[in-house]
Amino acid sequence: MILITKIQREEMLANGRLSAAGKDIDPRPVVKLFTPDGAATWLLTELDPEDPDIAFGLCDLGMQCPELGSVRISEIASVRGKLELPVERDISFVADKPLSAYTAAAQADGSIVA
């Protein structure tokens, strides 16, 4: 499965360019990735325009401490769950609030709620 579609990549790069330009943005997550046989979830909003393998967003490895940060897409692609299934993109995910709202909810709950 393609983790990030071309359209999503373009939107994430546009968000990354705004961040790189010093703009204070709080976009809606563009893509949700998850382990179908585990507890890891990523809500990603942007890609680094200088290194598009680096994404930014809310990361939850299933250890009850979701946090904002950067992650390599290539590293996410290498993650496997308990049954060795690869990470998938949630094709039905549509963000209905900005990343800050997902972050606040995840920190209160101990996991990403999306």
Tell whether 94 is covered by a domain: yes
Residue 23's contacts (CB-CB under 8 Å, 6 or more residues apart) are none
DSSP 41: E
Tell whether 15 is covered by a domain: yes
Tell whether 35 is covered by a domain: yes
Which residues constitute the domain of residue 87? Answer: 6-109
- The domain total for the chain is 1
pTM: 0.95
Ordered alpha helix ranges (H), 42-86: 73-78
Tell whether 77 is covered by a domain: yes
The owner of tokens 């499965």 is: 1
pLDDT at 113: 84
Tell whether 1 is covered by a domain: no
Q: Which two tokens stand for residue 38?
A: 């585990």
Tell whether 88 is covered by a domain: yes
Tell whether 24 is covered by a domain: yes
Tell whether 51 is covered by a domain: yes
Q: What is the pLDDT along the chain (114 residues), one digit of tens a residue?
A: 799 999 999 999 999 999 999 999 999 999 999 999 999 999 999 999 999 999 999 999 989 999 999 999 999 999 998 999 999 999 999 999 999 999 999 999 999 988
